[in-house]
Structure 1
Amino acid sequence: MEKSKDKEVYAFGIVTEALPNTLFRVELETNNKMIIAYLAGKMRLHRIRVLVGDKVKVVIDNYGEKGRIVQRL
């Protein structure tokens, strides 16, 4: 099973709520849908802080309910 970065779907959103265990509720800009997103490993490693109101870049999983925050803008 190969995972290709070419197939990843990126979206931009705004963090609306900070949840426990580095989970965040993010409102997507494209369709105003709310998803639950977690921090990517490199963001945890470098201790990049994400606060409510921050604009973030999210990789959406195939099922559309969860995402991974990969960049804070």
Structure 2
Amino acid sequence: MRRRREEHAAELDAREAQGSLLLDWAPGECQVDFGQADFRVRGVVTRGHFLVVAFPHSNVGLAQIFWGGSA
């Protein structure tokens, strides 16, 4: 086990030296983003506000569009 742990640590160091990191997300952690976008609804382009919540551990994402600026 000691040898394998050392090999694994060396692999992680090599990845970090190349600029890539191993991403690990705990269950329940999320990322949230919001903004505005143009949506085509029944042929009419309308500006809407959106909220996106992503749960990277389970790879689930939820989105909601709001047509007004207030909830």
- Sort the TM-score into its range (normalised by shorter chain): under 0.3
Higher helix share: 2
**Rg bigger for which structure?**
2
Higher strand share: 1
Question: Scaled by the length of structure 1, what TM-score is found?
Answer: 0.26
Question: Scaled by the length of structure 2, what TM-score is found?
Answer: 0.27
- Higher relative CO (Cα under 8 Å, sequence separation at least 6) belongs to 1
